[in-house]
């Protein structure tokens, strides 16, 4: 299968230089890019959106409904290599805040003082593969516009391929939650984090112009704004799922150990319920303060399952909270987590239903009761996560460039 050539990419993106100096029909040029991209790339990837001058801002600064989103596209710009080079101090090692298998992320400061995160694609010497990764990610996140998703500010295609994001000074949830040198995140903030993350994920599944499966929801891929509003980041593994498709069948399997849903781990099947399972693990992590996989290779959801089944919810709570939590909110979050981590995808809720469970004062538990035979079948799946720790040679884990933005963070 062929991918769009690097020279073609540069030629099509060269419109950004002309758009800064004069009037250019950007939409026409973007259509040309879309046509060539669609013809020469994988069929399940969306075309990149219109490229226009300016930063990533919606018309009213907010996006809360699918109808509004379909009428409005995020505004982002193409940066020159000089801009990103100067901002990152020549991609200085001192500015490197994260490194993965196919990208590096640098902290940058623009001339106007705005802090940015520059993701530089570095996948080996295979230019076609690097371009494909770049177009796939920009074609996914380029359509996204929601307060709980990390905004894309723009891109650069001069002397390499780069994506430019807002920089998160607080960093990722994982960097704060598991740092013993930082104050414990209080319950009110934790509740705000899980609700905001759920809204962002629901938007990706149902409210966005594209139906997006993130595939790597975890605490290190959720960043925090200055007021502790969560923002989902790192769309390197994200998949666009056409509306007429029920699921993707993917190989090789990529993701993070401890977060992989059984149907994905065993059969490579991906849909919205894959993210729901990962969110359940994320939810347990926020409640308990435990890491998704412990030192004994026991997964968090495997540890939590018997506690949830017994209904002893308070045993889940992070002991560092010293009892300072809302018992009713805890009960709702625990119920939501127990539904999300069900082995059978068919019996997991959608993210809209997860939000209902977490926010409503009362939940009809009978609605979620499973037939006895389904319960027995589910029991057979538990323990699959132990295989994750033994088969890491056959899996590739995603190292989040955006979560690495958190390495220098501190709670103010």
Q: Which of 216, 234, 275, 318 is catalytic?
A: 216
Whose tokens are 């980041």? That residue is 233
Please state, in angstroms and rounded to a whole number, the distance separating the CA atoms of residues 233 and 387.
27
Pick the closest to residue 286 from 217, 187, 357 (CA basis). 187
Burial class (CB in 10 A: 0-12, 13-18, 19+), 96: middle
The CB-side HSE value for 183 (13 A sphere, CA atoms) comes to: 9
Query: Exposed, middle or buried by CB within 10 Å (0-12, 13-18, 19+), for 278?
Result: buried
Q: 119 labelled as ligand-binding?
A: yes
Q: In the structure encoding, which two tokens stand for residue 180, read together?
A: 């013993």
Distance in angstroms (rounded) separating the CA atoms of residues 217 and 364? 27
Alpha-carbon distance of 199 to 329, in angstroms, equals 17
392 classed as catalytic: no
Interatomic CA distance for residues 378 and 114, integer angstroms: 50
Is there a contact between 41 and 55 (Cβ–Cβ < 8 Å)?
Answer: no
Write out the H or E segment, with its range, that includes residue 121.
strand 115-121
Annotated binding site: 119
Annotated binding site for ATP: 119
> Which amino acids are annotated catalytic?
216
């Amino acid at each position: 299968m062929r991918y769009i050539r690097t020279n073609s990419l540069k030629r099509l993106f060269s419109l950004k230089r002309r758009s800064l100096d004069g009037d250019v029909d950007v939409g026409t040029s973007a259509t040309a890019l879309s046509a060539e991209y669609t013809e020469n790339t994988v069929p399940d990837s969306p075309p990149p959106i219109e490229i226009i001058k300016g930063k990533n801002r919606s018309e009213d600064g907010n996006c809360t409904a699918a109808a509004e989103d379909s009428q409005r596209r995020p505004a982002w710009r193409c940066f020159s290599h000089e801009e990103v080079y100067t901002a990152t101090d020549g991609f200085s090692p001192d500015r490197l805040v994260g490194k993965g298998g196919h990208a590096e992320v640098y902290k940058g400061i623009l001339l106007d003082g705005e802090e940015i995160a520059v993701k530089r694609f570095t996948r080996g010497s295979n230019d076609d593969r690097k371009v494909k990764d770049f177009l796939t990610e920009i074609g996914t996140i380029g359509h996204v516009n929601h307060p709980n998703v990390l905004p894309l500010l723009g891109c650069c295609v001069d002397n390499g391929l780069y994506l430019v994001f807002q920089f998160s000074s607080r960093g990722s949830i994982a960097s704060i939650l598991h740092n013993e040198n930082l104050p414990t995140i209080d319950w009110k903030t934790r509740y705000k984090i899980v609700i905001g993350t759920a809204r962002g994920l629901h938007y990706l599944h149902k409210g966005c112009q594209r139906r997006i499966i993130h595939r790597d929801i975890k605490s290190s891929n959720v960043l925090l704004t200055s007021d502790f509003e969560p923002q989902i980041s790192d769309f390197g593994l994200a998949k666009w799922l056409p509306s007429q498709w029920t699921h993707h069948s993917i190989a090789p399997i990529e993701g993070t150990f401890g977060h992989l849903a059984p149907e994905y781990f065993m059969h490579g099947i991906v849909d919205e319920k894959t993210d729901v399972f990962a969110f359940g693990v994320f939810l347990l992590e926020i409640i308990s303060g435990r890491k998704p996989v412990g030192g004994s290779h026991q997964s968090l959801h495997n540890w939590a399952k018997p506690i949830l089944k017994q209904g002893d919810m308070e045993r889940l709570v992070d002991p560092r909270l010293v009892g300072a939590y809302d018992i009713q909110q805890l009960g709702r979050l625990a119920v939501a987590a127990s539904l999300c981590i069900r082995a059978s995808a068919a019996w997991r809720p959608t993210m809209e239903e997860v939000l209902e469970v977490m926010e409503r004062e009362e939940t009809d538990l009978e609605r979620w009761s499973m037939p006895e035979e389904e319960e027995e079948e589910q029991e057979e799946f538990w323990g699959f996560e132990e295989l994750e720790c033994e088969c890491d040679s056959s899996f590739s884990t995603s190292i989040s460039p955006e979560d690495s933005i958190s390495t220098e963070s501190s709670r103010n």
